[in-house]
Amino acid sequence: MPRPKSFDPEAALSKAMDVFWEKGYDAASITDLTAAMGINRFSLYDTFGDKRTLYLKALDFYSEQFVEPMVGKISMIDTMGGLGSLFDGLIEYQGSCSGKPCCMMQKASVSMAMGDAEARQRVEHARGRIHEAYQEALERVRRNGELRADLDLSETAWLVMIIQDGLLSSASSPIPTESAKSAVGILLGDLKAK
């Protein structure tokens, strides 16, 4: 019968996610990971597998902790005001976390997705979840009569996502708040029913 673990696997995975989020896959060493997780190499390999497997689990954990809550926020939008409020929050976030790493999924899309099919699948799944949530939100805004009738909602959802990703990728070196608000204002003004 296996002995119970002397550490909390979810807490350790959260720490591993932080290391990968900050350093990326290649720069994160096993020593970095075990030190942050508070476990030895045997426990890491025994519980999580090799470094790549741990990275994929960290991406899954990131999705649970950050992507799904974002989907939840987007799923509550049914007005242009709600969409504007979401972007106000993103602008505030990117302006308050200078020095922190950009979105882990964005980092994965640059560093791992090209050469690792499983990492790419996770990035694409997260992207798909956000796109679907924005498209459904835009459908609700349109039903309320606040969105231009001629817009292709799928393409518009991609546009909104690109603006969101630009804000989140700038978190380590924030876009000036007034410039970000002005850019978002242009986007929302162009989408609004006249």
CATH number for position 163: 1.10.357.10
Residue whose pair of structure tokens reads 């694409």 in the numeric block: 124
Residue 21 falls inside a structural domain: no
Band of pLDDT at residue 3, cut at 50, 70 and 90: low
* Contact in structure between 103 and 63 (CB atoms under 8 Å): no
Band of pLDDT at residue 1, cut at 50, 70 and 90: very low
Taking the model in full, what pTM does it have? Answer: 0.89
Residue 77 falls inside a structural domain: yes
Q: Structurally, how many domains does the chain consist of?
A: 1
Residue 127 falls inside a structural domain: yes
Quote the domain boundaries for residue 182. Answer: 56-191
At residue 98, φ and ψ (nearest 5 deg) are -55, 135
Say what the pLDDT of residue 124 is: 95
Band of pLDDT at residue 4, cut at 50, 70 and 90: low
Summarised one tens digit per residue, pLDDT across range 89-124 is 999 888 776 556 678 888 888 887 678 999 999 999
Residue 36 falls inside a structural domain: no
Residue 5 falls inside a structural domain: no
Residue whose pair of structure tokens reads 């292709």 in the numeric block: 152
Residue 182 falls inside a structural domain: yes
Summarised one tens digit per residue, pLDDT across range 19-63 is 999 898 999 999 999 999 999 999 999 999 999 999 999 999 999
Residue 35 falls inside a structural domain: no
Say what the pLDDT of residue 73 is: 97
* Contact in structure between 160 and 187 (CB atoms under 8 Å): yes
Residue 22 falls inside a structural domain: no
Q: Could you give the CA distance from residue 87 to residue 92 in angstroms, rounded to a whole number?
A: 8
